[in-house]
Chain A
Amino acid sequence: MARSVARVGIVANPAAGRDIRRLVAQASVFPIAEKRNMITRALSALGAVGVNEVLIMPDGAGLTHRIVRALRAPLPEGQVWPEVRFVDIEPGDTAADTLDAVRLMVDDGVGAIIVLGGDGTNRLVARAAGEVPLVSLSTGTNNVFPSVREATIAGLVAGLVASGKVTRAEACFRNKVLRLSVNGVPRDLALVDLCSSPELFIGSRALWRADGLDQLFVSFAEADAIGLSSIAGLVRPISRRAPFGLWLDLCPLERASRVIRAPIAPGIIVDVGVETVTTLTPGAQVPLRLKRGVVALDGEREVEFAPTDQVLVSLAEDGPFSVDIERTMIVAAQHGLFVRTGGSEISAASGAA
């Protein structure tokens, strides 16, 4: 697909990687300075593969300020950065910033969005990204959806896809998604796991205690995952591409048919009682057992519900698109995009395909 301008969006959540799990566990810390460094490395890569313009979500937490300072400094020798534009939102330093910024990026025709955050940040981007594929880099706490990759490589693959040098068909895959509705109205989604708990309040958002967890739904479950989905992953691993998910009814240890020792947060490995395990097929609507409590989406408490609410969970196959970083670089290598022979140009570095 030919594009006259190759445009890429960058969403970096300044708050990712600094929640209460630094206090109650030994979760890693991602300083804003490092997020700034990751963005500048991605900009170098985006420039190297011919991306013309990069749209960045502004923030009030200091990241924007850091990027502006980096843009004013002389570029390292031999580097060409794309034009950088901050999308036109008024940052309130809430989740709404991400939704608003991504909508504007999609309207402006970005060909890929680089996401710096954890599962929670990617969940927000996914809500607004439509068909635009995500290149997800881990800077959060429970990182199952995004991968721990070097930002330079993320910049290269985002640029290759946005400029059409590697096609979407070659580079992208579609994720499953868990959808939550309250009283018949779609409310939110989860990319990896959705869990109900009798806690009464969203509070500090993160869910790191196993006590009282009632039901767990997963779109996929990896045995080597961190977070709540690891409970399912250690019972029955399910790949991202499998056409179904899993649903577990949890219970106190003494009533459990099996007890799973699972790493539900960084540094927190606990025993969780499992009552039943059921395959979750796309389209099936499952009501929650609890009458009052909270729903955690990708490890963060997001929705409080009362006895008057009817809460339903379902699995859908029309989640966000992701760029497969490894596959994209293999395709680029197979096409010789980074190879110069004789007097030819490096084709990866040209403008949009």
Chain B
Amino acid sequence: MQLSKADLLKAYRMMKTIREFEERLHVEFATGEIPGFVHLYAGEEASAAGFCMHLDGRDRIASTHRGHGHSIAKGCDVHAMMAEIYGKKAGLCGGKGGSMHIADLDKGMLGANGIVGGGPPLICGAGLAAKMLKTGGVAIAFVGDGGFNQGTTAESLNLASVWRLPCLFVVENNGYAESTSSKWAVSCDDFTDRASAYNMPGISVDGHDFFAVYEAAGEAIKRARSGGGPSLIEVKINRYYGHFEGDAQTYRGPDEVKKLRETKDCLMLFRKRVEGATLIDAADMNKVDTEVLALIDDSVKKAKAAPKPTAADLLTDVYVSY
């Protein structure tokens, strides 16, 4: 696993952009200006970045209700995402989808998804298309620990295995399905235990460590691209905020998040590693920090100032004639 300086800076920028996007939304949502629900991905950045750093235009991903991180990592425009979340016409879906329905098919982002376990069936379709058209593409479903208990996921694992599809099923296990601890709701304790039942390899990685995720993702993607079939990867991870903004999180320990931020922050760990190995100067990453903050700030200002969809927009993009 050798990463160039440019690769390392790209990964850092990707994770930092996700973090600042979410931190800013946490503040802005409290003002009441943002319609609907938002589910923040802060704390989980190394997972989205570790996988999406390997992807290109051939590849497709399907996300969850917690989809901002995957969207940014797959290349969705930050300004258009922010406008979408604010419900503005300039948004990726014309402002009519909001946080949970951000999609950009041109970027291979098949959508955040309000349906828990809704992503896996989609990537079976994308994987089948890639296989039949011989594009060399792969399809990845990011699923939460709650979503991984859904029947849709079970059916998709089976289908992907039977058809030997170039698919990856990534369980981002942050320990809670909404507010229910996975310790109480997951029969097998460890999701990788389920992989062998579907005749595919399953591994666990530390989701706080970008390099661990990146390497595991690279091997699974290489396997899928070369016709080896699907894989299941459990990313053990933590979220910094509640299930949704406004969640009182009474189910978490008093200092749980504080401790996570102090000891397992993927950005902090990344910086420590690359600086320790004298691969990137702190100044280079500080410059990224400044640029990312400016980008997010600008995206919020423009989103707030942008016009809403008009009444005439209500019936556009709703029905398709075949």
Q: A residues near B, CB below 8 A? A: 14-15, 18-20, 22-24, 29, 31-33, 60-63, 65-66, 93, 199-205, 292, 304, 306-308
Contact = CB atoms under 8 A, between A and B. Distances in A.
Contacts of B201: 22-23
Scoring A200, A205, A304, A306 by chain B CB atoms within 10 A of each residue's CB, the highest score goes to A200
Contacts of A63: 189
Contacts of B276: 304, 306
Name the interface size band of chain B.
20 to 34
Nearest to A62: B189
Nearest to A304: B277
B196 A29 contact: yes
Given A32-B188, A199-B1, A200-B2, A306 B183 contact: no
Contacts of B2: 199-200
Contacts of B188: 31-33
Interface string B230-242: 0101001000000
Interface of B: 1-3, 183, 186, 188-190, 192-193, 195-196, 201-205, 209, 211-212, 214-216, 219-220, 223, 231, 233, 236, 273, 276-279
Contacts of B183: 60, 62, 65
Chain A contact residues: helix, strand, loop or mixed:
loop
B279 A200 contact: yes
Contacts of B193: 29, 31-33
Given A24-B219, A200-B2, A203-B215, A29 B189 contact: no
Contacts of B236: 93
A273 B201 CA distance: 30
A199 B186 CA distance: 36
Contacts of A307: 278
B3 A18 contact: no
Contacts of A201: 1, 3, 211, 215, 273, 277
Scoring B183, B188, B277 by chain A CB atoms within 10 A of each residue's CB, the highest score goes to B277
Nearest to B263: A92
A33 B194 CA distance: 12
Nearest to A15: B204
Scoring B205, B273, B276 by chain A CB atoms within 10 A of each residue's CB, the highest score goes to B205
Given A29-B192, A61-B190, 14 more contacts: A18-B190, A29-B196, A31-B188, A31-B190, A63-B189, A199-B1, A200-B277, A201-B3, A201-B215, A203-B209, A203-B212, A292-B277, A304-B273, A304-B277
